[in-house]
Amino acid sequence: MSLINRFVPPLDSDLLRTFRAVAASGSVTDGAKRVLRSQSAVSLQIKRLEAILGRRLFERRGRGVTLTAYGATLLPIADRVVGLLDEAVAEARAGDLLGTLRLGVPEEVGESALSTVVARLVREHPRVDLAVRCGLSSGFPGAIATGDLDAAVCDVEKGEVDWPVLATVERVWVAASAQRLEEYDPLPVALFDRECAWRALAVEALERDGRPYRVVYTSESVAGVRAAVRSGLAVALMGTLEGEEMGGVERIRGLPAVPPSHLVLMHRPGLDPEIASAVETAMRSALETEIRQ
């Protein structure tokens, strides 16, 4: 028996999964929801992991937690370990899933998350014929109802629908970095030109706040609204996932707060539960990484 085997305590990968969940959510309570455990059970798992490693992983900050310097070092290692274990299981079961999956992925999730999800599904389930539709998620529930899509990631309000929540996305007002809002009266605003929650919430917030505004740009796509903001033409209400990709654009203060949105996975009745689970796992992992960046 080697010295390592004799003196290094074994590290359960389940502890690393819990650690990743708490790190991604910034809260023991929210992390517990992600791994479907009680808050006390998650707290004990974190303490056990810290005892094994001999290092503190989190610092308390108000109602949440932040990673210590060592915790930040451990996180990418945990990502790799858990990812390799998931890949091993996926490869062993790759031949189990067979069929076609028509998947709707909203523009709101960002290009990097989309490419990560598609690559993972193709790699782990090569016998599944994948067809992806990318666009605003407002039309996805209807497409699922008519049978045009098998599953889709949809942007919904809290409590709107009973589906697995993949991620919660903060809605923020953004503008070009050099734009000075005090120079504008009324405020130039870019909106989506479809009837959707984002457009309605932006207008409602400005009117409730009594802020004069004028709509100077509308678009059916996130890319179109993003272009209007980057050019300095207007400000817009966008999600943090899109905001992180917008060079030359920054979050602005002084405009009314808007509740966050929730990304959920919807699917048609009768969809193979293993395929639905594979999509949920891939999308949740990609979104956790995207939000953390």
Q: Which fold has domain 95-162+266-292?
A: D-Maltodextrin-Binding Protein; domain 2 (3.40.190)
Residues of the chain with CATH 1.10.10.10: 3-91
Query: Helices 69-92 & 13-25, crossing angle to 10 degrees?
Result: 120
Sites in the chain below the pLDDT cut of 50: 1-4, 243-245, 292-293
d(CA 120, CA 288): 15
pLDDT at 166: 83
| Closest to 177 measured CA to CA, from 240, 239, 232 | 232
pLDDT at 43: 92
d(CA 152, CA 169): 17
Half-sphere exposure of 215 (CA within 13 A, CB side): 13
Cis peptide before 186 (omega within 30 of 0): yes
pTM above 0.85, yes or no: no
Amino acid, single-letter form, for residue 41: A
pLDDT at 106: 83
CATH tag, 3-91 = 1.10.10.10
Q: Percentage of the chain surpassing pLDDT 90?
A: 25
Residues of the chain with CATH 3.40.190.10: 95-162+266-292, 171-259
pLDDT at 1: 42
pLDDT at 180: 72
Give per-residue pLDDT as tens, 98-148.
567 888 888 766 666 677 777 777 777 777 788 888 887 888 888 999 989
pLDDT at 275: 80
Going along 2-127, which residue ranges are E strands? 58-61, 64-67, 99-106
pLDDT at 74: 93
| Homologous superfamily of domain range 171-259 | Periplasmic binding protein-like II (3.40.190.10)
Residue 176's DSSP bridge partners are: 249
Of the chain, the end-to-end C-alpha distance in Å amounts to 41
pLDDT at 112: 63
pLDDT at 157: 78
